[in-house]
Amino acid sequence: MKVGLSGVVQSFKELIDKALPKSDRRYTELEDEINVALMKRDVNVLIKDLAILPSGTNLNVHVKLGVGSYNAAYENQLTLDKMGDIGKGLENQLKENFKSVKNVTVQFVSSEKKAEEKNNEVKEEGEKKSVEETKKADEEKK
């Protein structure tokens, strides 16, 4: 009974795409491997986000790469070929060194996009405050 119940729980976790916690040994090993691979290929490229989704005994790795804010000018020097080489090399290395890794998704994110998102958030907050202040002023007039 206990074995059957644990199987159901494991299946449910797989269905909801629950990622491995950062404290998990497999997560830290994969993260270290990715960092070493990036240092060998291009020291300016860093992990921006990493999600490892277990699927039974297999692992699906989703990694977002980008350039650190300290070296944002380098982002303009990255070509599609260079990004493709980094992504394909990383995928091959992970699959070769970790037999449980079945799928690797590599995505490059722009540091400008994050700055733009922050600006939009600040702008939206400012607009919300402005609307709230207008409502308060209207209520005070009444």
Q: Encode pLDDT of 41-63 as tens digits.
A: 988 899 999 999 988 888 999 99
Confidence of residue 134 (pLDDT cuts 50, 70, 90): low
Name the residue among 59, 56, 38 with its Cα closest to residue 105.
59
- Reported pTM: 0.66
Q: What is the pLDDT of residue 21?
A: 85
Quick one: pLDDT at residue 70? 79
Q: How far apart are CA 52 and CA 61, in angstroms?
A: 5
58-67 sheet: strands from edge to edge: 45-55, 58-67, 101-108
Helix axis angle, 80-97 to 25-41, nearest 10°: 140
